[in-house]
Each structure stands twice: as C-alpha cells, then as structure tokens.
Structure 1
Amino acid sequence: MEYNSFIIARALHIVAIVMWIGGVAFVTTVLIPSIRSAKSIDNKLHLFEMLEGKFGFQAKLTTVITGVSGFYMLDVMNAWATMNWWIHIMIFVWFIFTLVLFILEPLILHRWFHQQAEKNIEKAFFYLQWMHTILLSISLIAVFCGVAGAHGFFF
C-alpha cells in the first residue's frame, strides 16, 4: 500500500511541477513580453493583474501540492539524512516560490509593483520580467537537476 501511495505522490508531484513551472514559463516568456510590447493596450497594469491573478491561484495550489508530495516522498524514503544536493536545490526553489506567493506578494510586492507602475509602467514591467526570468531560470535548473539526479546522474 505504501508503495502505491508513493507512486501517486510522485505522479502528483510531477503534474504539479509541470503546471506550476509551465505557468511561470508562460508568464515570463509570453504574457509579460506581450503586454510590454503592445502599443494598443490602454491599461497594461490592469490587464496583467487580471491575467496573472488567475494564474496566482494555480501557482499557490500547485506549490502546495508540490511541497506536500515532495516532503511525503522524502519521509517515505527516510531520505532526510541522505538527501542529494539536487534535492536541496528543489527545496530551495519551492521555498522561494512559497515565500513569494504566500507572504511577499500579498504583503509587499503587489503594492510595490503597483506603485512602480504608476510612476513608470515600462520600467516596472522591465523589472517584473527580469525577476520572473531569474525565477524561471532557477526553476528550470532545479527541474533539470532533479530529473537527472533522480535517474542516477551524478554531477
């Protein structure tokens, strides 16, 4: 029974990561650049907040599923003391996103971005894209290292 639970946890973990990091990739490489380059959009800030807000719920849900399933798998494998370095990278990325999504964004970042956009919308969206690019980059590195490491590749 425990083995079946582990398989389900791993499958949920992977699906959640695909939804989460795939969404970050879309926001970073499609949504923000499209809004930045659009000349015919009257209220870029409103459009971004509306569209990205829809993704915000998905991102929160999938990071929770990722965390619960990941920590469950570590517990089942009794791997806390023997974690490979690539697991630390995955936990670090999960922690950063969890911190941003559940604490920094609602308490600080949303208001800060709105204030910056009112001052200079182009500069605000430049910083937004830059921050998303960094988050996406470390996420993809973590995914690469996690998949390679889980399949026996040693760096």
Structure 2
Amino acid sequence: MNDIIVARALHVLAVVVWIGGVSMATTVALPALRRGDLGPDRLKAFGAIERRFIWQARASVIIVGLSGLYMTWQLDLWDRFRMPAFWWMDAMVGLWLLFTFVLFIGEPFILQRHFHRLAAERPDVAFAWLHRAHWILLGLSLGTVFAAVAGSHGWSIF
C-alpha cells in the first residue's frame, strides 16, 4: 500500500506544478506582458518564460499520467470509467489528454508554425489569442481539480 501512497503523492505534486504553472502564466505573467512590464516585445518575453517552463510542464504531465495509470491499475479502478458518479475521473483523463496533446504535439508541431506567422503579421491578435487560450485552459484545469477532489470525497452530481 505504500506504493499507492507514493503514487498519489507524486500525482498531486505533479498536478500542483502543472496547474500552478498554468495559473502563474495566465494570471501573473501574461498580464505583466500585456502591460509591457517585461519589455516592448511581449511575444519574445513570453517565449523566454515558456522555454523555461515547458519542460517542467511536460515532466509534470508525464508523472501525472504514469501515476494515474499506476493507481488505476493497482487499485483496479477501470470500472469507474463506466459509472456516471465517477465522471470526474473521465474529466481528469480528458484534461490530461488535452494538455498532453498541446504540450507534445500541438505546440511544437502545429502552433509553433502558425502562431509565429500570426505573431509576425498581427502581434496584438496573437497575444490576445494566447491569453484567451490560457484562460480557457486554466478554467478547465481548476474545474477538473475541484471536481476530482470533491468527487474523491463522495460529492456527486448524479
């Protein structure tokens, strides 16, 4: 049972780093960049911040996925994914899949090319899109964390 305790602790720790980073970027860094507090080239400044955090986010998402899979396997929780009362487990997996796609496929292979083109042509539009996307991701993340914690302690909407 100690392995489950360690897996759960790693899972929560990685979620804190991951979602905390999204929160920091969305509510602190991006508003400071919008005001020009970090220089006139907002997108360049954001890139510098992102390069320093992207590997933390990727590592956190990997740890969350592996620890979540491990706990599901060890505790044999697979049937919960078919039960409406445990919808929050599906929400956790859905959020994980979204961020895994964005961090490992979307950002490096799709967004990088298209976003940089938009940033070169219309930097204000690109920055507004970037900030809006972060607010959406933060909202989904916080909602999922709330549902998972409440649901794991017996709260149900069904």
The residue aligned with 1:134 is 136
For 2:152 and 2:37, how far apart are their aligned partners in 1? 45
- Helix, strand or coil: the match of 2:80? coil
CA deviation profile, 1:2-43 (whole Å, cap 9, x unmatched): x10000000000000000000000111111111112177232
Residues 1-150 of structure 1: pairs in structure 2 closer than 5 A: 3-38=1-36, 41-83=39-81, 84-150=86-152
For 2:136 and 2:80, how far apart are their aligned partners in 1? 29
**Unmatched 5+ residue regions in structure 1?**
none
- TM-score when normalising by structure 2: 0.93
- Helix, strand or coil: the match of 2:76? coil
Query: Relative to 1, partners in 2 of residues 1:40 and 1:148: Cα closer, same or farther, differing over 3 Å?
Result: closer
Query: Relative to 1, partners in 2 of residues 1:40 and 1:63: Cα closer, same or farther, differing over 3 Å?
Result: closer
Give 1:82 shift: 2.1
Query: Relative to 1, partners in 2 of residues 1:152 and 1:121: Cα closer, same or farther, differing over 3 Å?
Result: same
Per mean C-alpha deviation after superposition, the further-off stretch among 36-45 and 12-21 is 36-45
For 2:139 and 2:53, how far apart are their aligned partners in 1? 19
For 1:88 and 1:18, how far apart are their aligned partners in 2? 19
Give 1:70 shift: 0.5
Runs (4+) of structure 1 exceeding 6 A deviation are none
CA deviation profile, 1:107-139 (whole Å, cap 9, x unmatched): 010121111111111111100011111111011
